[in-house]
């Protein structure tokens, strides 16, 4: 009887917790962002978790309409980044990524490639993990819109936008004439438009050539 008196309250609490959790997970709506750390709560409609639209599959043509972008303008997905060390590391890493991307961008890009890189820049200005930095980036994009008509144009535009940030932070201004050499990643041949199928064919061809070369060496060694 003593044990039963101890077990019953525990069972009651467990059942209560399970029911509470179930009701919480079955709630029709959930706020996209925490009001304490985010900035999009007031402009974004809640997502219905029961809707088939809650988990939209990713496709390359999953674009955001201009009307939605206009609603988000001047705001960012992430909160303000207070850690100055992380803030600086994040900035350096992001600039490096962008500059190397520009240095390997096609010399004569297609219209599709231009759209892709413009979309990347646009979405980065909302998704950059430092919220206030992201908003500043949006403002700079308005002052100096991206030019991605060629590799050189992309590199020079990026260098100029970087120098705008450098000036605001009272950092040295970079010589944009040297930007390509400065961010040459040493990645090998200036190859663009990677195609896995062609790469596999090339790899297979090189493997066959290497095997033939090794057989020739073995034959020469056996003769001598």
Q: Does one domain contain both 34 and 96?
A: no
Average pLDDT over residues 134-159: 96
- Give whichever of 17-31, 72-86, 209-223 has the largest mean pLDDT: 72-86
More confident residue, 2 or 29: 2
Question: Is residue 115 a part of any domain in this protein?
Answer: yes
In this structure, the answer to whether residues 75 and 41 fall within a common structural domain is no
Three-state DSSP at 30 gives strand
Is 105 strand, coil or helix? coil
Phi–psi pair at 29, nearest 5 degrees:
-130, 155
Q: Are residues 35 and 109 in the same domain?
A: no
Measured between alpha carbons, how far is 95 from 155 in angstroms, rounded to an integer? 12
**Distances from the Cα of 180 to the Cαs of 45, 120, 174, in angstroms?**
43, 20, 12
Task: Return the pLDDT at 205.
Answer: 58
Contact 176, 160 (CB under 8 A): yes
Percent above pLDDT 90 for the chain: 46
Q: Give the C-alpha separation, 61 to 78, whole Å.
A: 24
**What CA–CA distance (Å, rounded) separates 111 from 113?**
5
Full domain range(s) for residue 50: 2-54
Flag whether pLDDT at 40 surpasses 60: no
Top-confidence residue, 153 or 32 = 153
Residues 144 and 42 in one domain: no
Q: Name the CA dihedral angle for 147, 151, 153, 154, rounded to a multiple of 10 degrees.
A: 50
For residue 122, give the CATH number of its domain.
1.20.120.310
Contact between 39 and 79 under an 8 Å Cβ cutoff? The reply is: yes
- In a domain, residue 94? The reply is yes
Q: Residue 61's pLDDT is what?
A: 53
Looking at the structure, tell me whether residues 45 and 142 fall in a common domain: no
The predicted pLDDT at position 122 comes to 93
Query: What's the longest Cα–Cα distance across the chain?
Result: 96
- Mean pLDDT of the chain, nearest integer: 74
**pTM of the predicted model as reported, rounded to 2 decimal places:** 0.62
DSSP calls for 164-211: HHHHHTT-PPP-GGGHHHHT----SS---S--HHHHHHHHHHHHHHHH
Residues 115 and 149 in one domain: yes
């Amino acid at each position: 009887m003593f044990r039963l008196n101890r077990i019953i309250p525990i069972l009651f609490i467990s059942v209560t917790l399970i029911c509470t959790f179930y009701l919480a997970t079955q709630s029709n709506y959930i706020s996209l962002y925490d009001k304490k750390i985010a900035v999009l709560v007031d402009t974004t409609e809640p997502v219905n978790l029961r809707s088939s639209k809650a988990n939209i599959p990713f496709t390359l043509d999953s674009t955001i309409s201009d009307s939605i972008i206009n609603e988000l303008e001047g705001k960012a997905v992430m909160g303000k980044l207070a850690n100055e060390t992380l803030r600086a590391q994040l900035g350096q890493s992001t600039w490096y990524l962008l500059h190397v991307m520009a240095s390997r961008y096609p010399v004569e890009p297609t219209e599709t490639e231009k759209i892709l890189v413009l979309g990347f820049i646009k979405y980065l200005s909302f998704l950059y993990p430092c919220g206030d930095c992201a908003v500043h980036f949006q403002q700079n994009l308005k002052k100096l819109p991206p030019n991605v008509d060629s590799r050189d144009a992309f590199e020079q535009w990026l260098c100029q936008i970087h120098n705008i940030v450098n000036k605001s932070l009272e950092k040295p201004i970079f010589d944009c004439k040297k930007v390509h050499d400065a961010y040459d990643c040493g990645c090998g041949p200036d190859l663009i438009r990677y195609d896995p199928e062609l790469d596999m064919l090339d790899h297979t061809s090189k493997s066959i050539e290497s095997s033939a070369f090794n057989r020739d060496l073995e034959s020469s060694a056996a003769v001598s």
